[in-house]
């Protein structure tokens, strides 16, 4: 026995251009005028309308050689649906074009707390001014957490310092700018009497650093820079503002990126002029990511970073 074809007897759906032609005829009330608009013959316009009429099973226009075309009751019945179909397609195509040209869409970026100011902030501001319809999500976290988020596709791109040297062909790593490290002393600290300081000045006092869930990136970076000097360091899961307040209270000294410095009562900042006293700030994303929105954002931050260098 032959198997029954489930598609047998089904009517093919009208093509979108047939609905578009129908709406144009409704507006102009003339096959000839629509033919001029589309650059086709009046017979081709009539053929598109005839196929719609075959589908719906009746005439859509009252044809009178001496009068403009009018809609039949059936034509009036399908008019709202035809308009809705074309409107939806037009809006979806416009949205797709906006995403393709990075004027719309969404992007999640992760950043290390200490680099939220400076070129990153200014580059994001430039991007928002150029692409106000792009939805940005921000994730603030230490380097290790950002790296995990990137691999888990929670974020699209990360901006951070102190990222481990994990060379892999699946990721792109671009060094954008270098941040000068500054020491934050309480007022009255002996090192604050000079215009700059060294690692020896910093390690002469208790050091307090920020941490989050045991993240040790900043601590490891400090160990690499101070060499064999003794280190008295405590880590606290607090905000940068609270950390500076702790310095003002005389609980220790801390280290900050230059662009993250703010004037606060009770503290004095001095640039560290010593070996390894500047840190590279990197952007990292997947090599397979061709997202034009991410590309445009990184470009703006790169341009701002070039002003800084």
181 contacts 264 by C-beta, under 8 angstroms: no
197 contacts 242 by C-beta, under 8 angstroms: no
With cut-offs at 50, 70 and 90, classify the pLDDT of residue 292.
confident
* Entry field: residues in the chain: 309
**Tokens of residue 281, six digits:** 């700030």
Helical packing angle, 16-28 and 31-38, nearest 10°: 120
d(CA 267, CA 257): 15
* 223-256 tens-digit pLDDT: 888 888 888 999 999 988 999 999 999 999 999 9
d(CA 281, CA 163): 9
Q: Measured at the alpha carbon of residue 281, what is the angle toward residues 275 and 286, in degrees to the nearest 5?
A: 140
Return all residues near 59 (Cβ < 8 A) that are at least 6 apart: 53, 72, 74, 75
d(CA 161, CA 116): 11
Burial (Cβ within 10 Å: 0-12, 13-18, ≥19) of residue 94: exposed
Domain boundaries, the chain: 16-100, 105-308
Burial (Cβ within 10 Å: 0-12, 13-18, ≥19) of residue 135: exposed
Return all residues near 196 (Cβ < 8 A) that are at least 6 apart: 270, 271, 272, 273
* 41-56 tens-digit pLDDT: 999 999 999 999 999 9
Query: Of 279, 263, 283, whose CA–CA distance to 120 is shortest?
Result: 283
The 8-class DSSP code of residue 192 comes to G
d(CA 256, CA 240): 9
d(CA 305, CA 35): 55
Is the predicted pLDDT of residue 205 greater than 80, yes or no? yes
Predicted pLDDT of residue 113: 85
Predicted pLDDT of residue 187: 93
d(CA 84, CA 81): 5
**Tokens of residue 84, six digits:** 């809705």
Between 273 and 214, residue with greater pLDDT: 273
Is the predicted pLDDT of residue 93 greater than 70, yes or no? yes
End-to-end Cα separation, the chain, in angstroms: 80
d(CA 173, CA 42): 59
Predicted pLDDT of residue 100: 61
Facing residues of 254 across strands? 184
Query: According to the per-residue pLDDT averaged within each range, which of 92-101, 102-111, 209-218, 266-275 is highest?
Result: 266-275
Query: Mean of the pLDDT values across residues 4-21?
Result: 70
Predicted pLDDT of residue 10: 53
Is the predicted pLDDT of residue 3 greater than 50, yes or no? no
Please state which CATH class domain 105-308 belongs to. alpha beta
Which CATH architecture describes the domain 16-100?
Orthogonal Bundle (1.10)
Is the predicted pLDDT of residue 219 greater than 90, yes or no? no
Percent of the chain with pLDDT over 70: 91
303 contacts 309 by C-beta, under 8 angstroms: no
Predicted pLDDT of residue 2: 41
Percent of the chain with pLDDT over 90: 62
* 20-41 tens-digit pLDDT: 999 999 999 999 999 999 999 9
Predicted pLDDT of residue 279: 93
Letter string b/e over residues 10-30, b meaning 16 or more CB atoms within 10 A of that residue's CB:
eeeebeeebbbbbbbbbebeb
Mean pLDDT for the chain? 88
Predicted pLDDT of residue 249: 95
Is the predicted pLDDT of residue 213 greater than 90, yes or no? no
Predicted pLDDT of residue 4: 44
With cut-offs at 50, 70 and 90, classify the pLDDT of residue 136.
very high
């Amino acid at each position: 026995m032959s198997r029954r074809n489930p598609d047998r007897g089904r009517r093919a759906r009208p093509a979108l251009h047939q609905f578009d032609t129908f709406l144009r005829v409704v507006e102009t009330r003339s096959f000839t005028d629509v033919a001029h608009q589309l650059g086709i013959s009046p017979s081709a316009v009539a053929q598109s309308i005839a196929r719609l009429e075959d589908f719906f099973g009746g005439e859509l226009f009252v044809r009178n050689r001496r009068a403009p075309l009018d809609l039949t009751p059936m034509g009036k019945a399908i008019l709202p649906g035809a308009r809705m179909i074309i409107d939806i397609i037009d809006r979806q195509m416009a949205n797709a074009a906006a995403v393709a040209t990075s004027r719309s869409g969404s992007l999640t970026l992760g950043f290390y707390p200490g680099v939220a100011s400076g070129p990153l902030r200014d580059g994001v501001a430039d991007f928002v001014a150029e692409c106000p319809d792009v939805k940005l999500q921000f994730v603030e976290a230490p380097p290790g957490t950002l790296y995990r988020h990137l691999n888990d596709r929670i974020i699209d791109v990360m901006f951070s310092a102190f990222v481990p040297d994990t060379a892999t062909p699946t990721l792109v790593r671009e060094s954008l700018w270098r941040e000068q490290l500054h020491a934050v002393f309480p007022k009255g600290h002996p090192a604050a009497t000079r215009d700059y300081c060294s690692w020896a000045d910093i390690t002469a006092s208790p050091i307090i650093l920020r941490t989050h869930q045991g993240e040790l990136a900043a601590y490891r970076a400090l160990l690499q820079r101070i060499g064999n000097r003794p280190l008295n360091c405590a880590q606290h899961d607090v905000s940068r503002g609270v950390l500076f307040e702790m310095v003002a209270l005389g609980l220790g000294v801390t280290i900050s990126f230059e662009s993250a410095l703010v004037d606060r009562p009770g503290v004095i900042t001095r640039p560290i002029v010593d070996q390894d006293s500047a840190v590279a700030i990197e952007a990292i994303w997947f090599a397979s990511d061709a997202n034009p929105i991410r590309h445009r954002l990184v470009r703006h931050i790169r341009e701002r970073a070039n002003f800084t260098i």
